[in-house]
Chains A and B, each alone.
Chain A
Amino acid sequence: MGGGKGGERGTTYSNMEHADAADDVDYPAGARQQEMRRSVASPSSIKEKSGGSTRVVELDPSGVMDDYEVVFVKDNVSVHPTQNAVGRISGRLRLIKQGASLFMTWIPYAHGGVTREGPNVVIKGGLRNRMGSNRAAERDRNLYTIRAVSLSEMRSIRRHTPPFGWQYIIIVLTSGLAFPPLYFHNGGVKEFLATIRNHAILVRSAEDANVYLVNDIQDPLQRSLTSLELTESPAPAVPASSQEAPWPVILKEEQVGRSPTVADSYYRQEQSSRKTKDPARDLSMHVLEKFSLVTKFARETTAQLFGESRMFLDGLDMDRGPAPRPPQEASVHADVKIVENAKEAQPVLAIKPADEQPTSPPKPTEEELNADEQADEEATTNVGTFELVDGTQVLSSSASSLDFGDFDNPLTDNSPALVWGRARPPPLGSEEWRSFLDSEGRVVDPKALRKRIFHGGVEPEVRHVIWKFLLGYHQFDSTYAEREFLMASKKEEYEILKAQWQTVSPEQAKRFAKYRERKHRVEKDVVRTDRTLPYYAGEGDDNPNITLLRDILVTYSFYNFDLGYCQGMSDLLSPILFVMENESEAFWCFAALMERLAPNFHRDQNGMHSQLLALSKLVQLLDGPLHDYFKQVDCLNYFFCFRWILIQFKREFEFENVIKLWEVLWSHSLSEHFHLYMCVALLKRHRRRIMDEQMEFDTLLKFINELSGHINLESTLRDAEALCLFAGERGAACIPPGTPPALSEEAAEGWSD
């Protein structure tokens, strides 16, 4: 088990494969909900825990393993995006088992009939006006929804059991990213952890008793520390042997693209849950919590609760949303009890937090963004970087409190649709593409188009059209007629350029060493480019598409004689020719791409060095400890990321995914340097292994090289997007102007926001 932890299993490859396969679970949660409904409805597979608020669904040993089973349900688990009760989003937390895999989902409650635009968070009377708009609520809902994150993707779960107020957990993923805190308004953290423990390996961290490492079997000592924990856990529902089973590959690509509202309607249809006071809640546990272990984050939250206890009773219903009313109102009483406790405890507890953390709203300060300057205990627990936990909290709270006005706020302009497990929307098809055009063929809103492509990519049938815009070969404000004319004249121009070298006579060639050398180099390389693809298959130059690659590259080396030909160019051209299927168009698209990437191939490598430097600064910003580690092992040149950057991850993904990635990168929607955030996301994803195994330059380079073919595109894009949003202006400030693929001013027309 433990797909994400490469270390403990035999081979690196299979581990990463499994981890990445498990990443794919994001989207089709909706589809699986249907399956779950079946399981839930089947009486034989449901066991009610009498008096408890959890419904445990046991595996029927004779049952079909393909079925999904809900093994844990908890209602009124909330995300608190802001300090204020108004922004709280309540939802249902589930653990779902399929085969040997366990997934967690958290779906916010929908309000009544779910529509795309409809208000989905119930906002209690007087509090409503303090919310910017219902759209903001909707946005938050989408932002925080967790659709089937695999346990193999989790790094750790931190349990927070403040002496009063709600227990909450923070889940840190193997990538180092974390979900926002999930508050258990009806208790149940213990049962949650116990259930996980029954299905996966959950290890209490030796360093912090509140941190549970998921799937961590590296340290037997730590493992033994889990004993005596969670004694009230339900009996194991799975034979222990199944824990040894590898994570199966569950999802297929084609499942991606269903409507996310399926899950919501599933919720509505589901029978009402029986929420009662959680008998397992043990308030004394709260009291026992040591302040020395209370994190900065917990302190902030504690402080928040002080400020909110007054309106807490008002806000009580809000969190329940449209959830079916529980038959008994016990849960309400339970909550009230907490509040009363809170009031009593307030004078005592207020002392500590006030000392260390101001109660003012958290702001993204210099300190918070520079983790290396902030050696608080959370950053050093070695269970992932926690600064992002705070960061997202800060980000979302500031976004919400800004009313989503037209501020220069990343959340305002770029709805982070991929963050927190929301799936990529389906790719842009030809019909939708036409909707972006006016009657004469101009792209009416290039920014919206780019954003759309950033999030969903494009369908193969419109790719050859849209790439021309993305690459800057076609202007967004050009008309059909203008483009027709351009293509015709460019075709002519290409023929002239091509003739320049094709008409070099053998006698002339003898006296033209540069020409001979270039042609030779190109010829040597095109026969070594993507030959495993049917489109370029064959031996030698017997495939006409190989000849096209050669002709375009030699022509380009005449078109841009100063730059000439350099290795890596054939990698960049190959997908373009494959998509364009037209020599002249492929040439001009390639030339347009080289307007951005030519510095990658300069002899002095200045373009590469500036990108590697920017990457170094980004890692420093987004993962201080990792930066420090690289510094310590003298790896700050980031040469191990050289190939990633030189040819835009061309060698790291399957061809099909390279194409999908490139259109995202070229959309320049969130950042024109999104590829650098991809690098950070990948490094963060493997940060623990890198540091645990104390990789140095050689081992690191080898490790990074061998990631090739084992990287999950969608989850990496999602991580990169989260990082990019989080870094915001500070991230952009890490990247000096002119760093490739920055566009020249002329070419940038139509791209500025």
Chain B
Amino acid sequence: MSYAYLFKYIIIGDTGVGKSCLLLQFTDKRFQPVHDLTIGVEFGARMITIDSKPIKLQIWDTAGQESFRSITRSYYRGAAGALLVYDITRRETFNHLASWLEDARQHANSNMTIMLIGNKCDLAHRRAVSTEEGEQFAKENGLVFMETSAKTAFNVEEAFINTAAKIYQKIEEGIFDVSNESYGIKVGYGGGAGTAGAGRGDASLAPKGGCCG
């Protein structure tokens, strides 16, 4: 499949926040509550279209457990984008964000685009972290923020695509040297071929504020 660019993403965050479910919802359009827990890393991929250009997202879904951190760190290498995920119903997953961010800052490319994701916003009745807190943390750390639900698919599409749009913007602005693969971007052979791929057309790039509920 031809693409103009390939972006490497990495999904990080505590265990059980819904990283694999977000990936599955994005790549397969389904919510599967019963799936094997992730050991090491799993991969997913999907084509999207931005600015009429087919872009392939290669997504690394990592294991969340603390003791695997040393190996997870090796996955940051060459990632263009990261989804840093917490669970809005479990406060401790929000509390651990700083430590995840520190890892990301330390081991990833400094130009990596990081999207903060408060997942499971369908479980509003069990909310333990307010939207404002999420927004605040994102603002303080220069991240893009969104609340999502892998279960209802709310904002899932947007989370991945907005991240890609940010990365694409950085390419356009010349921040990335796309010939250097350590930025997590590969130039493909289908450059400009806007109709290629299984992308679902131009997705809305406007983030939806707030959350379902």
Measured CB to CB, the residues of A under 8 A from B are 517, 521, 524-525, 527-531, 539, 566-568, 570-571, 601-605, 608, 637, 639, 642-643, 646-647, 651, 697-698, 701-702, 705-706
B63 lies within 8 A of A567 (CB)? yes
What DSSP secondary structure best describes chain B's contact surface? Answer: loop
Q: Is B118 an interface residue (CB 8 A)?
A: no
Do A705 and B67 have beta carbons less than 8 Å apart?
no
Q: Contact check: which of B35, B36, B39, B41 meets A701 at CB < 8 Å?
A: B41
Question: Which one, B36, B66, B92, contacts A528 given CB within 8 A?
Answer: B36
CB distance from A184 to the nearest CB of B (A): 48
Q: Which residues of chain A have C-beta atoms less than 8 A from B179's C-beta?
A: none
- Chain A residues with Cβ below 8 Å from B110 are none
12 A-B residue pairs with CB within 8 Å: A521-B15, A539-B34, A566-B65, A567-B15, A567-B39, A602-B67, A603-B67, A639-B71, A651-B39, A701-B41, A705-B41, A705-B43
| A463 shortest CB reach to chain B, Å | 23
- In the complex, what distance in Å separates the CA atom of A601 from the CA atom of B66? 11
A637 lies within 8 A of B37 (CB) = no
- Evaluate contact between B40 and A646: CB separation under 8 angstroms: yes
Is A697 within 8 A of B74, CB to CB?
A: yes
Residue total for B at the interface (Cβ-Cβ under 8 A): 24
Choose one: B67, B68, B74, B92; the contact of A637 (CB below 8 Å).
Answer: B74
Q: Does B209 contact A (CB under 8 A)?
A: no
Q: How far is the CA of A605 from the CA of B74 in the complex (A)?
A: 14
Q: Which chain B positions have C-beta within 8 A of A524?
A: 15-16, 37
Chain B contacts for A539, CB-based, 8 A: 33-34
Q: Which residues of B contact A697 (CB under 8 A)?
A: 74, 77
Q: Which residues on A sit within 8 Å (CB–CB) of B63? A: 567
Residues of chain A within 8 A of B81, CB atoms compared:
none
B43:A567 contact, CB within 8 angstroms: no
Q: Give Cα A602 to B65, complex, Å.
A: 12
> Does residue B202 face the partner (Cβ distance < 8 Å to A)?
no
A521 neighbours in B (Cβ, 8 Å): 15-16
* Chain A residue contacts of B92, Cβ below 8 A: 517
B65–A651 touching, CB < 8 Å? no
A603 to B77, CA, bound (A): 22
Instruction: Tell yes or no: B42 within 8 A of A by CB.
Output: yes
Ordered nearest first, which 9 A-B pairs have the shortest CB separation?
A528-B37, A643-B40, A567-B65, A524-B16, A531-B34, A603-B67, A642-B40, A643-B39, A525-B37
Specify the chain B residue showing the minimal Cβ separation from A528: B37
Say yes or no: A646-B39 contact (C-beta < 8 A), given A603-B67, A605-B67.
yes
Cα–Cα distance between A539 and B32 once the two chains are bound (Å): 11
**Least CB separation from B33: chain A residue:** A539
How many Å lie between the Cα of A480 and that of B43 in the bound state? 49
Separation of A642 and B67 alpha carbons in the complex (Å): 13
Nearest chain B CB to A245 CB, angstrom units: 27
- Cβ A698 vs Cβ B78 within 8 A: yes
Q: Is the CB–CB distance between A529 and B67 below 8 Å?
A: no
Residues of chain B lying within 8 A (CB to CB) of residue A571: 39
A residues less than 8 Å from B120 (CB atoms): none
User: B171 to nearest A CB, angstroms?
Assistant: 19
A63 CB → nearest B CB, Å: 42
Chain A residues with Cβ below 8 Å from B41 are 701, 705
A642-B92 Cα distance, complex, nearest whole Å: 27
Quote the shortest CB–CB distance from A123 to chain B (angstroms). Answer: 54
Query: Which residues from A are CB-within-8-Å of B35?
Result: 528, 531
In the complex, are the beta carbons of A528 and B74 less than 8 A apart? no
B 19-67 contacts with A by CB, 8 A: 33-37, 39-43, 63, 65-67
Q: Does B99 belong to the interface (CB within 8 Å)?
A: no
Q: Knowing A567-B65, A646-B39, A646-B40 are in contact, say whether A528-B71 is a contact too (CB < 8 A).
A: no
Chain A residue nearest in CB terms to B184: A698
- Cβ–Cβ < 8 Å partners of B15 in chain A: 521, 524-525, 567
A637 contact set on B, CB distance < 8 A: 74
Q: Does B151 contact A (CB under 8 A)?
A: no
Q: Which residue of B lies closest to A647 (CB)?
A: B39
B71 with A705: CB separation less than 8 A: no
> Is A567's CB under 8 angstroms from B34's CB?
no
How far is it, in angstroms, between the C-alpha of A89 and the C-alpha of B68 when the chains are bound? 52
Q: Which of B8, B33, B37, B77 interacts with A567 by CB under 8 Å?
A: B37
Q: Give Cα distance in the complex from A581 to B6, angstroms.
A: 48
Q: Which residues of B are found within 8 Å of A605, using beta-carbon distances?
A: 67-68, 70-71
Given the complex of chains A and B, what is the CA–CA distance between A643 and B68 in angstroms? 11
Interface centre among B8, B15, B68 (most CB of A within 10 A): B68
B70 touches A527 (CB 8 A): no
Shortest Cβ gap from A700 to chain B (Å):
12
Chain A residues within 8 Å of B65, by CB: 566-567
Expressed in whole angstroms, the Cα–Cα distance for A223 and B33 within the complex equals 50
Q: Does B36 contact A529, Cβ atoms closer than 8 Å?
A: yes
Which residues from chain A contact B36 at a C-beta distance below 8 Å? 528-531, 651
Q: Which residues of B have CB within 8 Å of A643?
A: 39-40
CA distance A521 to B34 in the complex (A): 15
Whether the Cβ atoms of B16 and A567 lie closer than 8 Å is: no
Complex interface: chain B residues within 8 A of A639 (CB): 71, 74
